Amino acid sequence: MIYLRLFLTFLKIGAVSFGGGYAMIPLISEAVVSNGWMSESEFVSFIAVAESTPGPIAVNMATFIGSAQGGFLGSLLATFGVILPAFLILLLVVALFRNLLNHRPVQAVLSGVRPCVVALILATALTMGLRTLFGLQTIHGGLTFHGRELLILAVLVGVSFGVKRWRGKKPSPVLLILLSAVMGIALYA
Amino acid sequence: MKKLGALALAFLKIGAFTFGGGYAMIALLEHEFVGQKQWIGQEEFLDMVAIAESTPGPIAINAATYIGYRTAGFVGAAAATLSVCLPSFVIIYIISRFFDAFLELRYVAAAFRGIQVCVVYLIGSAGLKLLKGLKKSWWNAAIVLGVTGAMISCSLLAVQFSSIFYILLCAGLGLAAELVRRLKNRKEDAK
């Protein structure tokens, strides 16, 4: 049953994803692609929507995928599933173990999980980059240079560093998304 | 009751106006609850952030549950969590009804081909920022390189291996390392 499947899938994602929205992207991407809920490219497009609308990225993704697969009830259940573990765990922590982080075993678990989460995010960016910029899906596929994509990336990197130099602060993600949308229209339409 | 209303309203506002996920929300939460309302002290707020970052789930939900409970108990926690999700739930639900049709428009499809490159850049720079924040140690370097290498190899070889296992494996490694340290200490004490 799709409702139960949506709820359980997002419950699992909510229970194991440490470190917020970006760390959830590989988990959600695996679930979505293996269930055939969305294609890889649709998913990447939706990340941009989740990034440019307010609210937690994970909640946005759960709502969207739930709605696409199971209508209003589906989106409600997927969203509920992704927030439930965080809610229950935090309730337990704030009510009973506010000194949670001072315990040695907790510290030990986190010392492994922290670098792992960074690696998950970096690997996601690298595999997505190989696919988008060089058309490399698997080792058997050939390597091709996607010139227009590489150009867009070069402009984004240049603008980011330029703005950071000039104003001391990196430009907001929404601004970069708008800029690449304009470049996309100019290059592909 | 008045406090509960103010709490819900504050989280509705934060849910509706923070772009870019949890980390962006932290600054707003601090402004609202430490600076203006003074419901939570500076030190406890920092502890709360550390807990939110170290427990599973979206950081915004963790923070809402914590602050809600400290302000108005269980009902407060539930109200704050629901309030922080409600705006994005409504917005995304509406978008989801039109997204497929929207993507089929020629100019929109072109725009999204450009945007996909931007998503790669955004995720990459978020990863690099977190990498810079990690303590420089052999342990961290080994895990980052090992997991990144394993994930990319699996994806290139089209081998299915869920990211959940990497997280569980690294948690286990952390515990094992702690155990080894303790055994070593005990041996030294025995001498």
- Residue range B133-142, pLDDT digits in tens: 888 899 999 9
Query: What SS3 state is found at A164?
Result: helix
A119/B139 touch (CB, cutoff 8 Å), yes or no: no
Which among B115, B120, B167 is the nearest to A128, CB-wise?
Answer: B120
* ipTM summary value: 0.83
pLDDT at B83 over 90: yes
Which residue type, as a one-letter code, is found at position A27? Answer: L
10-residue stretch averages of pLDDT, chain A, 189 residues long: 91 83 82 86 84 82 90 94 92 83 82 86 87 78 81 92 87 84 89
Backbone angles phi, psi at A163, to 5 degrees: -65, -40
Which among B115, B123, B170 is the nearest to A184, CB-wise?
Answer: B115
Q: pLDDT value at position B78?
A: 94
**Residue A109 contacts residue B175 (beta carbons within 8 Å):** yes
Q: pLDDT value at position B99?
A: 83
Q: Residue B57 corresponds to which tokens in the numbers above?
A: 């789930």
Contacts of A46 in chain B (CB under 8 A): 99
Distances in whole angstroms, Cα of residue A146 to Cα of each of A97, A150, B101 = 52, 6, 27
**Residue B49 contacts residue A48 (beta carbons within 8 Å):** no
Summarize pLDDT for B20-70 with one digit per residue, the tens: 566 667 777 888 888 888 888 887 887 887 788 778 888 888 889 999 998
Beta bridge partners of B56: A18
What is the spatial distance between Cα A76 and Cα A166, in angstroms, rounded to a whole number?
44
pLDDT at B116 over 80: yes
B171/A109 touch (CB, cutoff 8 Å), yes or no: yes
Helix axes B59-104, B2-17, angle to 10 degrees: 40
B151/A133 touch (CB, cutoff 8 Å), yes or no: no
Q: Residue B3 corresponds to which tokens in the numbers above?
A: 């406090």
In this prediction, residues B160-168 reach a mean pLDDT of 82
Chain-centroid distance of CA B29 in Å reads: 15
| B23 contacts chain A (CB < 8 A) | yes
In this prediction, residues B170-178 reach a mean pLDDT of 90
DSSP-assigned letters across all residues of A109-138: HHHHHHHHHHHHHHHHHHHHHHHHHH---S
Backbone angles phi, psi at B56, to 5 degrees: -65, 160
A89/B55 touch (CB, cutoff 8 Å), yes or no: yes
Closest CA to B100 of A28, A49, A97: A49
| Residue with tokens 């592909």, as numbered in its chain | A188
Contacts of A47 in chain B (CB under 8 A): 119, 123
| B180 contacts chain A (CB < 8 A) | no
Query: Residue A27 CB: number of other CB atoms within 10 A?
Result: 23
